[in-house]
Each structure stands twice: as structure tokens, then as C-alpha cells.
Structure 1
Amino acid sequence: MTTFRESLARVASRRSFLAVSGLIATAMCRPALAQDAGTPSASGWAMTDGRGNTISLPTRPERVVAFSPVAAALWELGVRPVGVFGPFRQEDGSPDPQIGEVDLDAVVSIGDWEEFDLERLIALDPDLLVGLSLPDVPNTLWYVPEDASATVEAIVPTFGVTPSDRGHLGLIEDIESLAAALAADLDAPGIVATRNEFTAAEAELRDLLAEAEGLTALVISASPDEIYVANPSWFGDLRFFLAAGLPIIEPETEERWEILSWEQAAKYQADLILVDNRGGGVPFPVLDPIGTWQSLPAVQAGQVGPWHAVAPYGRRAFSNIVRELTEIIRQTDASVVA
């Protein structure tokens, strides 16, 4: 399992940051998924992925291997991957949050970070591998080692879902299009109910924020040595929350993070602080001894909540995050910072 500390180390690099979040949005446009593709016909199955590559196969893929957050989203939609790669189990044996509701006993793990097992991939005899393709790191799929990319392509056709200017919801919708092409019934009662629940959760958040006059929020990752202030324009989920009306403080940088020392912790004052919880939870034991952390008004008021910087790319999982944030905001005093 990727620990909180290890994740922070990755965040420091340009390449790793984009992938760790899984929730980013970029200002880049890219080809949309083919709306009429993925239907079996005399000519087989074909679909264009987020990289602009058209994957053409004799028949619809049945045996799918997917990156953990993508696998979780497909699972929500009734598509059952045979294998996954990426975060799988936590140290206590429980499912990693990124794997969502996937039955870990029903799938084979190809490996976590730097553990991609080509022999396991071959043994699964997959028809399609679905991964996360990042615009800043072209010609790669996250968690597929670059030195193994050519071998993987020789084993199985790959399909890349790509964050876009539409943010996190756009990523969710693209995976839904892929699921439909893999024979998922998006009109099934359970899926329609999930879609309606998401719409209701979004509306509730928007209504609450419309009344939360004066509220400010700060989103960070943190370690014992530094604070990483998130630039919301780089994160799909944060862009969604901004659009819903959450006033997230934007740091003085055009990059993904503004890195501050703990001596600079008071630079940005907010009524609510959301802290990156990758690795299992907000690291209060790590932050509690830090005096400047304890001096922040939001911390003193107990107005600190989790930021799910990595999460499944499914509508149900995101609905849960939206509802959780709504309850946090409902209990937040917007006058903590004048």
C-alpha cells in the first residue's frame, strides 16, 4: 500500500503529482470518446480512447484489466474486470479506498506501484487493458512502468482514459461511455438510482453553499516538514467544488502546489481546511505536535476535514464524497476567519 509519506514524496515531482490525485483536470482539450463505437457488428468492436487512439478488435472485449480507480468505476456499472493494477489492499488487508467496491477475491492484482507483474498479466489472457493516460506524460499509462510499456502493448490492446477540461465529472462520464461499450446497461435501475443520487447530492451541496456567506476553504497536503497548498485549477474534484460554490483559496502559484514551510502556515487563513487523506486518513498524529498548525483558526475551531485526493472514478464514490463535504460544511462556522 502507498503510505501517506510515500504519496507526498511522489507529489513533489511533476510526473507523479498528476497521477497520484487521479482527480485532476487539465486545461487541455482532447478527442471525445466515440459515441457510436463499441457496438459489436460484422466489423467487430472499435472505440476511440482519451489519447485519440482507436482500438479495433474482432469482438467486444470480455476479459478486462483496469487501473484500480477505473476498475472501481467499471464495477459500479456492472463491468467485472478480471484483473486490476494499482492500489489494492491496505496494510491491514482491507481494500484500498481507490479500489472501491471491487471484490478483491474475484480479481487478480497485477501489482501496485513499481510492481507490475507481466507474467500475471499474460496468465489472465486479457482482451483489453484500461489505464489512466496523463496529458503531461504522453505515451504512458499510470502504474504501467515505462520500460514495460512496449511489452504490455504486445500482450494486450490498451485503452487510456484521460482527464480533460471537463474535470472529474468528465472523467466519470467517459468511463460510463466505455462501460456501455463493454455491454453495461446504463439504464439499469441501480445505475439510474446512483445517477439520481449524485444529482441530488450535487444539488444539496450547491444549495448549502449558496447560503454559506463568507465561507472560505483551504485544501492542502501536509508532512512534518512542509505544507503543500493545492491549486484547485489543477484538480478535477476541486474544480467541481468551485463550480458548486465552494470558495477555495487559490495559492500564489500557477503550478499544482505552493510549498510552504510550517513557519509560513498562517499565510492563508480559512474557515475550513481540507487535508489530503491518502494513505488512510488525515494525519492528525503527524500534525498535532506542530505549533503553527495548532495556531490556525480552523484547527482551533475543529474545522478540519478530509480531502479525498485519490478516489474511485465512479459516480457512487463521488456522491459519497460530495455528501461528506456537505455535512462538513453544514457544521462549519463561516465566521472563524474575519
Structure 2
Amino acid sequence: MTANILELHGVSRSYVTRRGLLGKKVPVHAVDGVSLSLQPGKTLALVGESGSGKSTTGRIALGLERPQNGHVRFQGAALPPADTPAWRHLRARMQMIYQDPLAVLDRRLFILDQVREPLDIHDIGPVSNRNDKALAILQAVGLNARHAASLPHQLSGGQRQRAVLARALIMQPALLVCDEPVSALDVSIQAQIVNLLMDLQQELHLSLLFISHDLKVVRQISQTMAVMYLGRIVEYGETGRLLSDPLHPYTRALVSAVPVAGRRTNQRILLKGEPPNPAARPTGCAFHPRCPIARGECRSISPPFSTLPDGRSVACHAVEADTRTKEAGA
């Protein structure tokens, strides 16, 4: 069996906020006991509503955030503490693509200089060859010499995201964490960037942790999928199976919101209310205030994360009870 390139074991991360200007400090659990694994050359999608903890999980995977509990392993070894020489050396093999390329690019520097910069920082290769290498990687992502001589504001949104991708790929990483990389782009440009990522993944044997709320994109690019709600994984398994036959009520609601030709809009599952405040997490299952099938135990007991006979995992009392009933009937 192929060893995992990335493993998160029970990682948790919380922050402290205040209720009011002089109120008492209250912990906010952004990530709570998350365990994930990613195989080399594959894509794991992390989906859920805004505020579910997806981006924090991605930052923990890269060592940009330190988990308060649990640990991260990259290529079989524990991730070293951030800002140490060992971590900075390892970061060349782990890169990130953000949602807004303008927030990443320096508006005063030409694109070629910004793509070349990681080579200068890590002192990789002869100085005389670095511009040529930067131009070659720009061409690999569909840009040319004219784009290389441009400033970020002179490029379109899709071209800027390609430049950010080139900057990440010039280090020849093994892992690419993509944090909503296409959500700010037009639909046609989204398809171009997703197809480019898939082509580059196959060519370079990249492993992708793909963070998104767009299940249409997730279906296209990922092999496995993890659904997050309020800092916890509620369902995990093969992408096609989760999208065609979701078990957790939250996953069902997300899947029902994806437009499908021929399906009536009244078949969409509408959840009650808004996601709870992470600083006042409900007891028991965090989803129970919005769940259409919540039962008594859901309000008081946190559901265990159980692996089912078909290989997927889910944290839901109702699903667990249905599974036991089917096994007893068999």
C-alpha cells in the first residue's frame, strides 16, 4: 500500500475572543480533532460552509498554524516547528494557492521577478539560469514573456492565478494546498484553471489538498472528499460515492444545492437557521439545531466517527442506527 504523503492525526486549533469590550475570554474551536490522510499524486477535497474550519486545516497541514493537540506528518516524518530551518527547508516541498491572487502578489514587482523569488530565497540553481527557469514555468501554466514583464494589475484574474500557480510550482513541490483557488473567477476561467491543475498534477505527480465549497469542481478534481462542519469532519470517503449517495444530513443538504439538469428546485434541502457560533458550540452533535432528522441523543451525545462496511466514515447517530438495523436484518 502506498504511504501517505500527508497525515493529520487528531489536530485541534482554537483561538480566544472576548464577549464585548470588557467581557470574559471565550475559546473558539476552529478545528476540533480532525484526522485526514492524502496519498501521493491524489486529490483530497475539503468542503463545507464558510467558517467550518477548512482554511485553518489547510494552514495546519503546511505548518503555518500550530495545532494545540494532535500532530501532522509529511512524507512520513513529523512536521517541524514553524520558522525553524528544518521547516523552511521543507516548505519548498509544500506550497499554497490562495483564493485572491492580488493578496499574494506584490503589486510593485513584475511577474517574472515574483515567480523567480522563491529560487532566490532558497538559493536554488545558478543565478544566471533563474530567469529562464521562471519564464519556463510561466509558459507551462499558459503565460508568456509579455505577461512576465507585466505588473499584477495589468493581468486578468485568471492570469494572476496562473502566475501564483507558477510561483508555487517553480519549487517543484510534492504537496499543493489550494484554498478556494477558483471561487473568485468566472465560470469559464474556473474550468481552465481546474483543467490546468489536473494536467500539472498528472505531469508532476502532485498531491493536492483542495479546499472548496463548489461541489461541481470537487467532483471533477478529487478522488476523496471530507465534509467539515463547525471544525469537525462529519463524513469522509470516495468523492463519487459521497456525492451520489450522501449519508450525513449535512452532506445531503450540500449535495442537494448543486444544480442538476432535470431536477426540480423544490427537491433542494433547506437547512434551518445559520451555522452556530463556534464560541457557543451546541452540546451533542453540533449540527442538531439545523438537522431535519435530529433525535434525542443528538442533543446530548456527540456522535462517534464510525467506519461503515462500504469504506466511508460518518459521524451521525441516525446513520449509525440505520446501519445496525440493516446488519441485524441481514
Tell me if both proteins adopt one fold, taking TM over 0.5 as the criterion: no
The structure carrying a bigger strand percent of its residues is 2
TM-score normalised to the size of structure 1? 0.28
Of the two, which has the highest radius of gyration? 2
